[in-house]
Structure 1
């Protein structure tokens, strides 16, 4: 078994190294090492370490959402590129002019945060061709700025600070600590195309969160990648968690389905900010795949019942039986499907007895009481020990 394990690790490491070697031309242009996000997608991160950016009394680390990100997918000979350039106001026009000269597409220009000093803008760029040609064209545009090409992001820490362990536990996702910043990416599970070509989730359809210390609390910023019908649900959850909504926009011109990027800012305890972020993750199609103690998740296409309730005992519709909705979850999305009603905890309901307005249970249906120490939420999720629940959201019908 040890031999097979070592062989698997060896193949993974050699495969990663080989994939990284494939993008050597781009690395030479940017004078920095790329990071493989998946087998075909590489990312170059260039922090704006030349700038001191403040938001109120908080000094933002260059890795805290202030790095230019350049991604390539496909092959070095036939690559797609998506870049997110971090610019000062005075740099925007010279960069746009150079990008037009290099025949690269500008797809968006906007802020991600407000109230920063200096004001920072984000210019999104796309293109296709060889990785070397694309990188050379982009470098020509970046030469109009003070972006420190050749500088690397802070090294990944081998240990994770206690507050980031809390964040990982609540989100159910592992992240990376780089200097004073903790970063988490959660790819959506939808199939996304750009100009009719399928693109991997890490190319532009991944939720992206950053965390750093802010006094005795933590600050968080980042973006959720959402479908149109998810946008206002997410805003409601974030607003309820005392998050500032700082931007809402698109990044690409020809993505399908149309994706919206919702940016935010908040300062609170690690547990509090992570719980709010988790609530939004759980209501999107790109939710988390890992189950953490903070929530109970169902499997795709199954109906979830509270702990202590009689799972799978809903009765088939019969004459005079009125059905009530039960909640079904799958792939991070919650939908409402009808199922037949049951009686109240621990009682046998007599024929024709109404247990809720407009709800009639079938004769003889028995529902045992909830288990000791459990708390049942209105959404049907039971958390052990009375832990405050993470509510689920019902996807509206379109």
Structure 2
């Protein structure tokens, strides 16, 4: 009986050790990247990391003359756009980060979305930078050549718009003197519009959970829009709270209507389901702006 017991214990120990070994073994990448083809299609030179089987192409933004807190920066100090390719099974994954001046953000974002590249984040990496520089994170999965072609178009759009001069548009009206009629906006959106000070705001709540407790509209999990100005000359600005799976659809709807995306980021950590927040800005006829907002709302409902 003791011999049997010892054998059982030994078998359990061996099984446990093998399990730990398997758990610690790194995931093996499959496939071979055509490095020359990726460089050709992206128009950028890269470097292969043999340990990760990932190929990273870089485009330094040497065309920018950026200062941060009075310090003259170079492309090597964090102002280099990049995209990394890695084979995963029978597909290729791409991830990257695009360095953009403010006026470049939305043209480059549209280029990415139109060419099958997902936009996953948009935010600043610095404070006190002049001119203001934002960073757009991207990703995608599929055929290596198709991905490289799309990334090449994104890089080309950055180059095409690199002469854009970031500027602050002259003030065209005072939001505190809003005169627009909120009724057409309510009809288009299908939700009540509340007067907040001198402007009009619509807030649509949603719910997630944190530590097993529901968190909703009042706690900040909501989509909102503020309308200001006149019927013919208005602005809309606000925030969309979207599920990760709905982010790309909402971005496409807003960009398709000419609405500028200003940031994409998280407001919380540890929530379930995860909520991504995107801030936006638009100018135009009030009813057109309301239609753009409604189109983005509808994109959240699509399966």
* TM-score normalised to structure 2 length: 0.41
Select the structure with the greater relative contact order (CA < 8 A; seq sep ≥ 6).
Answer: 2
Higher share in helix: 2
The normalised TM-score by structure 1 is: 0.32
